[in-house]
Amino acid sequence: MAKFVFVTGGVCSGLGKGITASSIALLLKAKGYKVFMQKFDPYMNVDPGTMSPIQHGEVFVTADGCETDLDLGHYERFIDEELNYTSNITNGKIYSSVIEKERRGDFLGATIQIVPHISNEIKNKIYEAATTSNADIVITEIGGTVGDIESSVMMEALRQFRLEQGRENTLFVHTTLVPYLFGSNELKTKPTQNSVIELRRLGIQPDILVTRAPIELGESIRKKIALFGSIPVENIIEAKDVNNIYEIPLNFHKQKIEEIILKQFNLKIEKSNLSYWEELIHIVGQLDNEVEIALVGKYIELEDAYLSVKEALKAAGYKYKTKVKINWIDSEILEKKDTKIEDVLGNAKGILVPGGFGSRGIEGKILACQYARENKIPYLGICLGMQIAVIEFARHVCGIEDASSTEFDEVCKNPVIDLMANQKAIVNKGGTLRLGNYECHIEKGTLAYKDYNQETIFERHRHRYEFNNQYREILEKNGMVFSGINPDLNLVEIIELPDHPHFIAGQFHPEFKSRPTKAHPLFASFVQAAINLKKKK
C-alpha cells in the first residue's frame, strides 16, 4: 500500500505550493522511492482546456492526452516521470462523475450529498492514483488557499483519508507566508498561525510547515511558529526566496524534509542520489554567456501562459552554459503601421512562435516568421507557430497570396491549414482537440533527424487544425521539406527549410517533454543555432 503526502496552502496563493510538492517528490525519489504526483483544482471547469491562458496560465498536456494545470509541468520537470489522467482532478470532474453515476442509477435510491458522495469520489481519485501508478508514495497538492469555499469538500475528503489510513500512512505539509514588515523591520508569524488554525478548524493538523519568507526565520520565530502550530521545531522547513526554483529541492534537502516524511511513514532512509541535481544548480549558477530569443505571442502579459516554453528555453541554455534571455513580444505590436519590425526583432538571435488559438495577433506572427526566414534568423515554430510558417511560406514564397487557416478565415480560398473531416463534426469544445502523444516518422538527412537522431518519435499534441495535404506538392516544389509525418493519418508533423541556417517547426508541443537536466533536442538545436548566430555577428 502506498503512503500519501498532502500539500495544502495558506495565507495567499502564489507561495510556491507546486514547487514545494515537486521538490518533496524529487527528494523522495532521490531516496529510491517510486513517486507519483497529483493535483486537485477546486474550480468547476472539468479541465483548464477551455480557460483563457491569460487567466490560468498554460495548459499542460500529459502523454495520455489530458489538458491539465501548469503545476503538472513543474511536477514532470522535477521528478522526470510521465503523469496521466489521474494526476489532475477538478471539482468539475468530481461533480460530473457523481452526477453521471446518479443518472445511471448507481446510488440505488440514496439522496446524493456532498458528504459522503462527493468526498468519497475525491478519496477514490487519490486511491486510483496510487493503484494505477503503483507508487510507493503519492504526493497530492490541493489548489487554492485553505478556507476557500471551493476547496472545502476536498479538505474534508483529506480529513477522512487520514482517518482511514492513519498518521503512519499520511502526512500533511502546509505552506504559508511569513511576511517581513518594513518599518517595524520584523517577520510576522500571525498569518501563519491563523492559517494553521483555519486548517485545524477543518480537522487537519499539519505535520510539516513550509514557510515562505524573504529572510531566515531565526530561532525565536521558529519556536513561536512551532508552539502555535503544535509541530516540532525541526518540522518547520524554511522556503527562503531564491533566484531559481530549481534550487528549492536542495534547500529542503539541507533541512532534511524527506527524512521527516520517511520517519513518519516508518520507511527506510537511504542515502540520497542528488548529484545530477547538484550539477544542474552548479551550471545554473555559472551561466557566463547570454543569448536573446524573441518569443512572439499574444498572451505575453502573463509569462505563465508560456511556462513550459520558457523552461524549455532555459534548459536548452543550460546545455550550452548560456542564459537565454527571452524578449517577450506582443505580436499585435508588429502589426501596427508605425512599427519597424527591425526595431523590435533586430537584436533577436532566434525567433520562436509558440502555440495559440484564434485570429488576434496572427498577422504579426506571420511578419515575425517572414522576418526570421528572410533574415536567416533561427526560427522555431510550435503548433500554431508551424501553421504560421506554412501560411507565410505559401503567401510569400509560393505566391498563394490569400493562403490562410480556416481557423482565422472560415471561407478562405486557399486553406493551407484546415480542419480534418472528423474535427468538422465536433460540437463540444472541451477535450476534443487532437491531444497527447502521436507517432511521427522522421525523414533521414533532415534537420529534424539530426536533432532527434531517431526515425520514430512521440510528441504531445494540442490542436484542432492540420496542414492541408493538398498543398504539399506546391510547397515542396518551392523548397519546404516535410521532415516529420504521422504514419497513421499521413499528417504533417514537422516542416523545415533547408536553404535557411535553422528553420524548423512542429505541429506538436516539444516543450512538455523538456526537462531542466535533459534539454529537448528541438530546443537545444534552436538555442545552439542562436548562439552560433551571435558568435558570427
- Give the residue numbers annotated as catalytic, written as ranges: 383, 509, 511
Q: According to the binding rule CB under 6 A, does residue 383 interact with ligand GLN?
A: yes
CA distances from 339 to 333, 335, 359 (A): 7, 7, 20
Q: Rank residues 254 and 429 by Cβ distance to ligand GLN and give the closer one.
A: 429
Q: According to the binding rule CB under 6 A, does residue 50 interact with ligand GLN?
A: no
CB distance 465 to 406 below 8 Å: yes
The Cα diameter of the chain in Å comes to 75
Please name the amino acid found at residue 514: S
Q: Rank residues 136 and 418 by Cβ distance to ligand GLN and give the closer one.
A: 418
- Part of the chain binding ligand GLN (CB under 6 A), chosen from 114-122, 219-227, 462-470, 512-520: 462-470
Whole-number Å distance between alpha carbons of 375 and 354: 20
Q: According to the binding rule CB under 6 A, does residue 355 interact with ligand GLN?
A: yes
CB distance 305 to 297 below 8 Å: yes
Q: According to the binding rule CB under 6 A, does residue 384 interact with ligand GLN?
A: yes
Whole-number Å distance between alpha carbons of 249 and 25: 9
CA distances from 282 to 276, 313, 517 (A): 10, 18, 12
Q: According to the binding rule CB under 6 A, does residue 228 interact with ligand GLN?
A: no
Q: Which residue has the cell 445511471?
A: 104
Reported as type and span, the H/E element at residue 471 is: none
Give the nearest distance from C-beta 384 to ligand GLN in angstroms.
3
- Part of the chain binding ligand GLN (CB under 6 A), chosen from 206-214, 300-308, 352-360, 367-375: 352-360
Give the nearest distance from C-beta 221 to ligand GLN in angstroms.
46
Q: Which three cell numbers stand for residue 133?
A: 501508478
Residue from 299, 452, 465, 512 in contact with ligand GLN (CB under 6 A): 465
Please name the amino acid found at residue 119: S
Q: Rank residues 95 and 357 by Cβ distance to ligand GLN and give the closer one.
A: 357
Residue 450 CA to its chain's centroid (Å) = 27
- Part of the chain binding ligand GLN (CB under 6 A), chosen from 93-101, 109-117, 135-143, 461-469: 461-469
Strand partners, 417: 405, 467
Q: Mapping DSSP to helix (H, G, I), strand (E, B) and coil, where does residue 287 land?
A: coil
Give the nearest distance from C-beta 383 to ligand GLN in angstroms.
3
Q: Exposure of 200 by Cβ count < 10 A (0-12 exposed, 13-18 middle, 19+ buried)?
A: middle
Give the nearest distance from C-beta 212 to ligand GLN in angstroms.
33
Residue from 464, 515, 518, 534 in contact with ligand GLN (CB under 6 A): 464
Give the nearest distance from C-beta 537 to ligand GLN in angstroms.
31
Reported as type and span, the H/E element at residue 29 is: helix 17-30
Q: Rank residues 407 and 496 by Cβ distance to ligand GLN and give the closer one.
A: 407
Give the nearest distance from C-beta 61 to ligand GLN in angstroms.
9
- Part of the chain binding ligand GLN (CB under 6 A), chosen from 23-31, 233-241, 312-320, 458-466: 458-466
* Closest of 174, 168, 173, 159 to residue 262, by C-alpha: 168
Give the nearest distance from C-beta 207 to ligand GLN in angstroms.
40
Question: How many residues sit close enough to ligand GLN to count as binding (CB under 6 A)?
Answer: 10
In terms of residues, how long is the chain?
Answer: 537
Give the nearest distance from C-beta 356 to ligand GLN in angstroms.
5
Q: Rank residues 118 and 384 by Cβ distance to ligand GLN and give the closer one.
A: 384
- Part of the chain binding ligand GLN (CB under 6 A), chosen from 34-42, 169-177, 230-238, 459-467: 459-467
Residue from 41, 121, 407, 511 in contact with ligand GLN (CB under 6 A): 407
The closest residue (CB) to ligand GLN is: 355
Whole-number Å distance between alpha carbons of 426 and 417: 17
Q: According to the binding rule CB under 6 A, does residue 462 interact with ligand GLN?
A: yes
Residue from 245, 357, 439, 450 in contact with ligand GLN (CB under 6 A): 357
Residue 463 CA to its chain's centroid (Å) = 17
Q: According to the binding rule CB under 6 A, does residue 463 interact with ligand GLN?
A: yes
Peptide bond into 116 cis (omega under 30): yes
Q: Which residue has the cell 542528488?
A: 274
> Would you tell me which residues interact with ligand GLN (CB under 6 A)?
355-357, 383-384, 407, 462-465
